[in-house]
Amino acid sequence: MALSAKKAIRNGKDAAESKALILRAALEEFAQEGFAGARTEHIAKAAGVNIALLFYYFKNKEQLYGAVLESNYAEWNRRMMEALELEASPKEKIRAYAATYFDFASETPSRPRLTLQEMMRAGRTGSPHIVKLKRKYIKPVHERIKRTMREGVAAGEFRAMDAEHFIYSVFGIINMYFACAQAIKVVSGNEPLDPKVIAQRRGEVMRFITQALFAK
């Protein structure tokens, strides 16, 4: 390890906390500037660590970007599966899934922006990350939702609806609000990320989803 990185560890946080701070700062930088525009020196400064320490944990910007995506999708997967595996009816599982998804996005609005940026980057340059992340984290959640949807239709709790398109609709109705917050502010004149506005938005999203899906 470089001397400056050793000094950073002695004078700063332990390894786990330092990595968490770097990943949090990197999430904001990548979401704001995109992969090409993000600067590792900005990330190190925002995390409060020495740049040498950043490159000790993450060898280059691509590796750091991949780690941010992995961390984001791993947490999303954990929380969505936890909601979908409740000991509850299909109706309550879907309600918990939608509410948990909204809360996941609203607590860190940079997450939806980063997700959409990665999807666009994958289409242009062939991201080395997205295929692995889809298989490891996204597909298991989608399969669990589809199963819950089939159970709900069979029990008479849900209207007959294409599960695949339901998933895409939930993705869009939640993520686009936070990814487009600046545009919404200009159009509406309101602050879309104000806690009171977010609470209202959450209620409207939940009402929209349940009224569209629930049979009664």
Q: What are phi and psi of 135, to 5 degrees?
A: -70, -40
Per-residue pLDDT of 183-212, as tens digits, reads 999 999 999 999 999 999 999 999 999 999
pLDDT tens-place string over residues 72-107 = 999 999 999 999 999 999 999 999 999 999 999 999
The three-point CA angle 212-192-172 to 5° equals 35
Q: Which CATH class is domain 1-59?
A: mainly alpha
**pTM of the shown model:** 0.88
* The CATH fold of domain 62-213: Tetracycline Repressor; domain 2 (1.10.357)
CA–CA distances in Å: residue 158 to residues 166, 194, 214: 12, 33, 5
Strand-pair partners of 158: 214
Domain segments of the chain: what residues? 1-59, 62-213
**Cα distances (Å, whole numbers) of residue 208 to 46, 95, 193:** 38, 11, 20
pLDDT digits 0-9 by tens, 104-142 = 999 999 999 998 888 777 555 556 788 889 899 999 999
